[in-house]
Structure 1
Amino acid sequence: MLWIAIVSMVMMFAGLTSAYIVSSSREDWVSFEMPTAFYISTALILLSSTSFFMAKKFIKQDNRQLTTVMLLATLALGIAFVVFQFIGYNQLIDSGLYLTGEKSRISSSLFYVISFAHLLHIIAGVIVVSVVIFNHFRFKYNSSEVLGIELGSIFWHFLDILWIALFLFFYLKG
């Protein structure tokens, strides 16, 4: 089921980025630079993938203490990613780039839609990480039972890769 969901998400974001590419040829297209907060959120999500990778490594070694630290770090970094995305949206608004209304532009509207769609998936990922942590505290994982952490990490790493792809897309297309 997870792989079906991932394929569906890839298709959705392929469609959205295709709309961005097609729309960029419009006469009213306005290019803009990504706010600095999106650079920070990119670093945060990379760090969160690293911490989740380490959590999986440590549980396979039955090191519950370091697994706990790495899972909590992943959760904190994921929440920080969400916070910095909203800071980035505020920076866009401060620059006069809106989602809707008279002053909105198709470029900024599509940027908001695509990045917010990803943000909703990150919020789902934060819930997944929270469930993994909950189950970890209930001693459901050890060196021979890692399925929940494995599935959670696949989803989280997918979201990381997806954001990096979107970030590079916007950076290069900007």
Structure 2
Amino acid sequence: MNAKTINPIRTSTGIHPLKFTLWLLIMSIVMMFAAFTSAYIVRREEGNWLEFNLPGALLINSIIIVLSSVAMQWAYLAARKDNLNILKVALFLTFILGTAFLIGQWNVWGDLVKNKIFFGGPTANPSGSFMYVLTGVHGFHLITGLIFILVVLSSAFRYRVHAKNLLQIELCTTYWHFLGVLWVYLYVFLAVYH
């Protein structure tokens, strides 16, 4: 077995450099969304804030992303047990659910437009603009997660993800769970402050 297969690379802290990099990325995303939600609260208190009902599809999308996180955990556990067929099925299911989430978010934007809530322009209100920014930036990160899933799925088909080579699936699982937790936070935040 070669060194690449067992991933022995570590930093002086004992953490693999790619794991360290992923956690730096996650922390930067957390800081960005903390800034967005803080700005949301401050701007809301200034007045001229349009109150509107959140589209009901946001709850459905929240359930979908939680289910996708369950599927991703299933994939990780399958990789740890060298159950490569289940690994592939679970990764594919995670990808399908993630795509369904994005389609659902696109439909939410369609509902917002139907209700004359726009991102910009003379009739736009900051409340609508924040809604588009929060969901749009999360959606962008979710697309990067879907690409990551495809990379891991491709590796799984080439037998490069298994019990003795878990780095890719560990990184992907961590990032995907983070995106799920981030969305649940955003949904609860919007439900409370909307």
TM range (shorter): over 0.9
The aligned counterpart of 2:149 is: 129
Q: Match for 1:133: what amino acid?
A: L
Q: Please, what is the CA RMSD of the aligned residues?
A: 0.8
Q: Does 1:73 align with 2:98?
A: no
What one-letter code is carried by the residue in structure 2 that aligns with 1:75? F
Partner of 1:85 in structure 2? 105
Could you give the per-residue CA deviations for residues 36-76 of structure 1, whole angstroms, max 9, x where no partner exists? 22111111110000000001111111111111110000000
Distance in 1 of aligned mates of 2:185 and 2:105: 16
**Aligned residue number for residue 45 of structure 2:** 25
Cα separation, 1, equivalents of 2:78 and 2:186: 30
Matches within 5 A, 1:9-158: 9-158=29-178
Partners of 2:85 and 2:155 lie apart in 1 by 14
> Which consecutive residues of structure 2, in runs of 5 or more, have no partner in the other structure?
1-20
**Structure 1, unpaired ranges of 5+:** none
Distance 2:173 2:107 in 1: 26
Query: Percent identical across equivalent pairs?
Result: 36
Structure 1 residue 26: Cα displacement: 2.2
* TM-score, length of structure 2 as denominator length: 0.88
Tell me the TM-score normalised to structure 1 length.
Answer: 0.98
AA aligned opposite 2:93: A
Give the letter aligned to residue 22 of structure 2. Answer: L
Measured in 1, the distance between the counterparts of 2:35 and 2:147 equals 26
User: Which residue in 1 is equivalent to 2:5?
Assistant: none
Give the paired residue count.
Answer: 174
